[in-house]
Amino acid sequence: MSKKKKRQQELEEQERMRELEQEKEPELEILKKKTIKELIAPSGIDASNIDHLEIISDTTRYARSFFVSSLPRMCTFPELFRDMYLFGDINTSVYINPIPEARSQTELNRTINQLETERIVAADRGNINRESIITQKRLEAEELRDQIAAGFNKLYEATIVATLFAYNMQTLDAYSKMLATEMSKNLVGIKSAWAIQEEAFKSNLPLMKNSINKSHTFDRNSMATVFPFTTSEVGHLTGIPLGYNKQTGVPILFDNFHPSLTNYNMVIFAKSGAGKSVTMKTLISRSSVLMGIESLALDAEGEYSVVADALGGINVVLRTNIKNNYKYF
């Protein structure tokens, strides 16, 4: 190809690129004049119905917002709101406001006095069961008050609101009943934001503005169960089996030399009798049998000698005041 013809092709290519840029300029100008809200907003929202919203766009969608109305007395992380977070086409927002310590103490003292009054009334009427239940509640309130006073705990007000979406009303009604059933398994009650669907929908938008007054009181421990920082996928694709995933029932594999790890170091912390030695012996023995990994244990108490014997390894005994301070087994 001659230089003249090559130069002509380059000029033609540059001309085509300029034409494409000129075609895009009007579109870019329109985008620059619009805000993010204008770009993502639908054509309109019909809020005339008191129990749902109609989101009008290219394809009309229906939305129904809920708020958490009741909570269990005890819960387990991360089971409390997991079914809500993972329930199909749904958005969930959690608004958390810390309660000042002075207000916490005042409200808890008021609650303790009310419970004590109810206990006395129940005792006078001979209702032993109610008296026992109220006594337990009063003791728990006193313990919480003392923990807050000592700085070991704190109270929070939290509002949990969710918006469920569907493409027709029949599906929305079916999903609403299904969501309520799933949440009731963990003793969590949800209610439709009846007559305040518009406010609840706005509260669930990424605007950080809570427009409904439906809050619950949490302490620091129970507040931690709300955060969805969990995953059902645990472990590696290769490695040794350490246990099974309680959520999925799938075996958990651990590979201490997996490339996804930053380095090969590992530390195990636990109280006495929790199973630190059992865990290490499991790692050593299964790594040796399944992956051919050799391990060295500096054992002051001699509890790993049984593992070395079972795996056909070597025990080296270090002692003082003897000539031959090592011995092979």
Taking 90 as the threshold, does the pLDDT of residue 62 lie above it? Answer: yes
Are 141 and 106 spatial neighbours (Cβ–Cβ below 8 Å)? no
For residue range 275-317, list pLDDT tens digits in order: 888 889 998 999 888 888 888 888 888 888 888 888 888 888 8
Q: Is 279 helix (H, G, I), strand (E, B) or coil?
A: helix
Residues 6+ apart with CB under 8 A from 216: 68, 71, 157, 158, 159, 160
Residue pair 174/67 in contact (Cβ under 8 Å)? The answer is no
Q: Where are the domains of the chain?
A: 3-37, 45-99+154-224, 240-295
Closest C-alpha to 90, from 225, 190, 185, 235: 190
Q: What distance in Å separates the CA atoms of residue 181 and residue 38, rounded to the nearest whole number?
A: 37
List the structure tokens of 208. 């950080």
195: phi > 0 → left, psi -120 to 50 → alpha, else beta; which?
left
- pLDDT tens for 69-94 read 999 988 777 778 888 988 889 999 99
Q: Kindly report, residue by residue over 144-185, the tens digit of the pLDDT.
A: 999 999 989 999 999 999 999 999 999 999 999 999 999 998
The confidence band for 213, taking pLDDT boundaries of 50, 70 and 90, is confident
Tell me whether the omega of the peptide bond preceding residue 78 falls within 30 degrees of 0, making it cis: yes
The answer to whether the beta carbons of residues 158 and 226 sit under 8 Å apart is yes
Residue 23's pLDDT is what? 60
Residue 50: phi and psi, rounded to 5, are -85, -10
Measured distance CA(77)–CA(6) in Å, rounded: 67
pLDDT tens digits, one per residue of 237-263? 888 898 887 767 788 888 888 888 888
